Amino acid sequence: MNKNILNGTLLVLFAVPGGLTAQVHELPNLSYKYADLEPHIDAMTMEIHHTKHHQGYVNNLNNAIEGTDAATLNIEELMMNISKYSTAVRNNGGGHYNHSLFWKILSPKPQLKPSGELMEMIDEEFGNFDNLKSELSKAGATRFGSGWAWLIVTPEGKLAVTSTPNQDNPLMDIAEVRGIPILGIDVWEHAYYLKYQNKRPDYLEAIWKVIDWEKVEKNLEDAIQSPLLKKM
Ligand code: MN
């Protein structure tokens, strides 16, 4: 059995009859403890979100793809071709991809502002950093029901703010606005309800205290070099 680190997601690879390699998706470990994001995100929300919700998406995804050709694709390839697969693969594969990104951009000791190339691109596209935060908060606040707000790199290599319903994401070939997500904000009630109840805007204000722009800068570097942009 080989172990492979791909974009931060641990995939366990093993040979299956017919020569294809099947991938079993696994819940990623967090680089901080559940209580470390308090008071902005409470420990119980973090623990349930990671061990129940995300684990559930991983389990359901593995069950849905077992023995199918979807089991031969890594998570990014799966998103890029999601129109070929079932609703269960779309919802749970999206859930796995989205949460894996979300945990990575949160930090108890975040860099609170972008710098370098990312800041230059933000100034060019949105005027300034505050405008970008407002647009992201608005995208999250106005997403009816459950979903995500995103900062993406478009196929033209520009930044854009967008949002998707449910566990969809801009990498999916069914998304209205496509691009590689470099920041995602979970606006499902399960992400904030225990602490913020119905007050989604309060959660969207608090989240800026734990988003690490150093991670987002790294995601930008990776996105710009990604071959996936040319396939959109
Ligand atoms: Mn969630």
The contacts of residue 132 (CB under 8 Å, 6+ apart) are 122, 125, 126, 151, 161
Residue type (1 letter), 23: Q
Mean pLDDT of 200-228: 97
Cα of 166 from ligand 1 centre, angstroms: 10
Contact criterion met (CB below 8 Å) for 78 and 189? no
- Residues 122, 193, single domain; the answer is yes
Q: What angle do CA 91, 93, 99 make, to 5 degrees?
A: 95
- Residues 97, 165, single domain; the answer is no
Nearest Cα neighbor of 80 from 216, 221, 227, 186 is 227
Q: Write the pLDDT tens digit of every residue in 76-91.
A: 999 999 999 999 999 9
Provide the whole-model pTM. Answer: 0.91
* Domain housing 48: 2-27+41-105
Mean pLDDT of 225-229: 96
End-to-end CA distance of the chain: 33
Name the E strands within the chain: 2-6, 9-15, 21-25, 147-153, 159-165, 180-186
In a domain? residue 33: no
Q: Distance between CA atoms of 161 and 151, rounded to whole angstroms?
A: 5
Cα of 91 from ligand 1 centre, angstroms: 12
For the chain, how big is the Rg over CA atoms in Å? Answer: 17
- Residues 216, 130, single domain; the answer is yes
- Residues 225, 184, single domain; the answer is yes
Provide the CA 113 distance to its chain's centre, in angstroms. 20
- Residues 207, 140, single domain; the answer is yes
Cα of 189 from ligand 1 centre, angstroms: 8
Q: Distance between CA atoms of 163 and 150, rounded to whole angstroms?
A: 6
CATH number at residue 186: 3.55.40.20
Cα of 49 from ligand 1 centre, angstroms: 6
Cα of 231 from ligand 1 centre, angstroms: 28
- Residues 64, 17, single domain; the answer is yes
In a domain? residue 110: no
Q: Distance between CA atoms of 28 and 117, rounded to whole angstroms?
A: 28
Cα of 129 from ligand 1 centre, angstroms: 25
Cα of 54 from ligand 1 centre, angstroms: 7
Whole-number mean pLDDT of the chain? Answer: 93
The contacts of residue 107 (CB under 8 Å, 6+ apart) are 31, 32, 210, 211, 212, 215
Residues near ligand 1 ion, CB 5 Å cutoff:
186, 188, 191
pLDDT-based confidence at residue 14 (cuts at 50, 70, 90): low
pLDDT at 4: 45
- Residues 90, 149, single domain; the answer is no
Q: Write the pLDDT tens digit of every residue in 166-178.
A: 999 999 999 999 9
